[in-house]
Amino acid sequence: MDATTDELLRLAFDRAPAVEANQAISRTRAQEGDELSGATSYELVLPKENVRAWLLDYTLPRLVDYLESSGAKLPQCGGVFLSVFAGDTLHFIRARDVVELLSRWSGLSMAELKQRYGPK
C-alpha cells in the first residue's frame, strides 16, 4: 500500500471484509444515522495505482457535487460516510474527513471546492 492510500485509509472509523459489504454497509448506515433515518453510503473502489490523482481528479469533483446537491453541505457533510473498497477490505470513512483530506491535498478551501465543484 502506498503512502496516499495509507493516509486515506487511516481515517476509517470501521472496517469489514469486502465479502460482507451489504451487511456491513447496512449496519453502518444504522449506526451513523439519526433516530429518523439512516446515514448514506457513498461507495468507492480504490484503483491499484495513482490513487492520489484519481481521488483529486475523479472523486473530489463528484463527491463535492453529490454532497452539496444532496443537502449534506460541506464542511460537515452530515449523514454521509464513504464505503471504500481497497483489496479485500471495506473501509468506512466519514465524508467530512475525506473532504478535509482532499481539500488539503488539492490546496483548495471548502469555499473554493463548493464554487468549483458544487451544483451550478
pLDDT of 91 reads 98
d(CA 65, CA 75): 13
Sign, CA torsion 103/104/105/108: positive
Of the candidates 40, 52, 41, which has an alpha carbon nearest to the alpha carbon of residue 9? 52
| Percent of the chain clearing pLDDT 90 (strictly above) | 92
- pLDDT grade, residue 48 (50/70/90)? very high
> What is the pLDDT, as a whole number, of residue 37?
79
Crossing angle of helices 60-70 and 95-106, in 10° steps, is 130
